[in-house]
Structure 1
């Protein structure tokens, strides 16, 4: 595609995010908000109480069919397509937090802060309830203020309980919170791991253009069904 083809319109692309981003021009994206696939648990023998079960046990500790991509593969391409002096939000868990920060810094990103999404509702367990998730807030280039300077590092939004469109689906309200803090109307937001399209729905609600990439056909089709207004789909 020509450089201008990526501007001023929302696009959904079925494919490998690294391959797709390599076709994108440099400095063409105003913001990145993404929840990349990552390892969910550490260790655990098959006969121990903390061993993986269900989909994790049957899928080599993976929640999705496609989560064997490493941060070293996709973060350099994300950095390349981001404009200078723009921001990035990367969601992760405690197992992958340190590694993601390390690779982001090696790639050239500067880390602004570690944000915490506190869930109003979560599932009880035998140990401390997992009522929080981490979000790495970084930047490419010079620091610039967020739009709502009263925002706190810990913010509370409801989790999605039951009937999820995607195993790791995030609430649209949370995605919009980040989008409106780090971009403006008409800007282009990229999610290289689109899943069921929550970032795209938030972009549509906030009048941002969206580029969403998803490798799994099932979730791509779900995102496509949620985002049909003013969207061009590929694949």
Structure 2
């Protein structure tokens, strides 16, 4: 049984996205950060505690799971699909989106220097996530969009609340949707995409299966609306987004 909370233009749903998705309306964009690959999760959890990081409380995503999600997103979304993943799954995500009739672009990097350390010291640290974006024919006139994102000063807010940096999500929401659009995130986590939508003037549907994360998301999105009322600064400026590739 799902539970819903409405905050401003954000509809937040506590429940399993596999059960919730068939009940949702059409959306203008999907901007999502689902679980990563089995290899990524195993590497993360093997050093959790040693690095004072949190053991991931959810399962890794398989290529079959990627295909299932891509089919659901294609049925629900009339606009851009923006899917964050790791290097292991990036090609599977691109192929899955192409298989459901979307034009999928080469993965875009999100590069955050210094965000992690390879504790065994046997090779390079992983400072990059990958963003696969796909469109319908209707988005072919949007013009040139950024070729990637590089974290800048002030992007480290995820250290205190988990998930992706707010600046990154504001940039993605701004680049791949328009004011008033309805944005969907099926794996909302701590609600950073919802925060970005609240600050950027988009409507939002977020789905999250974990009660603790859901409660944090509700609080953060409520705070974002309060912040917007106190400091109505409008859309994020490009110079605040760090470097664009």
- Kindly tell me: are residues 113 and 143 of structure 1, through their superposed partners in 2, closer, same or farther at Cα, counting changes over 3 Å? farther
2:117 is aligned, of 112, 120, 124, to: 124
Match of 2:214 in 1: 220
- Kindly tell me: are residues 112 and 54 of structure 1, through their superposed partners in 2, closer, same or farther at Cα, counting changes over 3 Å? closer
Match of 1:101 in 2: 94
Residue aligned with 1:89, SS: strand
2:28 maps to 1:16: no
Q: For 2:113 and 2:81, how far apart are their aligned partners in 1?
A: 24
Match of 1:41 in 2: 39
Match of 1:59 in 2: none
Q: For 1:77 and 1:202, how far apart are their aligned partners in 2?
A: 23
What is the CA distance between 1:113 and its match in structure 2?
3.3
Q: For 2:214 and 2:44, how far apart are their aligned partners in 1?
A: 31
What is the CA distance between 1:162 and its match in structure 2?
7.2
Q: For 1:162 and 1:11, how far apart are their aligned partners in 2?
A: 23
- Kindly tell me: are residues 21 and 129 of structure 1, through their superposed partners in 2, closer, same or farther at Cα, counting changes over 3 Å? same
Residue aligned with 1:101, SS: helix
- Kindly tell me: are residues 140 and 164 of structure 1, through their superposed partners in 2, closer, same or farther at Cα, counting changes over 3 Å? farther
Aligned-pair RMSD on alpha carbons? 2.9
1:78 is aligned, of 69, 73, 77, to: 73
What is the CA distance between 1:93 and its match in structure 2?
0.6
What is the CA distance between 1:185 and its match in structure 2?
1.1
TM-score with structure 2 setting the length: 0.73
- Kindly tell me: are residues 165 and 42 of structure 1, through their superposed partners in 2, closer, same or farther at Cα, counting changes over 3 Å? closer
Structure (1/2) with the larger strand percentage: 1
- Kindly tell me: are residues 188 and 41 of structure 1, through their superposed partners in 2, closer, same or farther at Cα, counting changes over 3 Å? same
Structure (1/2) with the larger helix percentage: 2
- Kindly tell me: are residues 66 and 15 of structure 1, through their superposed partners in 2, closer, same or farther at Cα, counting changes over 3 Å? farther
2:177 is aligned, of 152, 177, 183, to: 183
Unaligned runs of 5+ residues in structure 2 are 1-5, 50-54, 226-245
Match of 2:242 in 1: none
CA contact (8 A) 1:82 1:140 kept: no
CA contact (8 A) 1:14 1:217 kept: yes
Q: For 1:156 and 1:51, how far apart are their aligned partners in 2?
A: 22
TM-score with structure 1 setting the length: 0.76
Residue aligned with 2:39, SS: coil
Q: For 1:153 and 1:51, how far apart are their aligned partners in 2?
A: 27
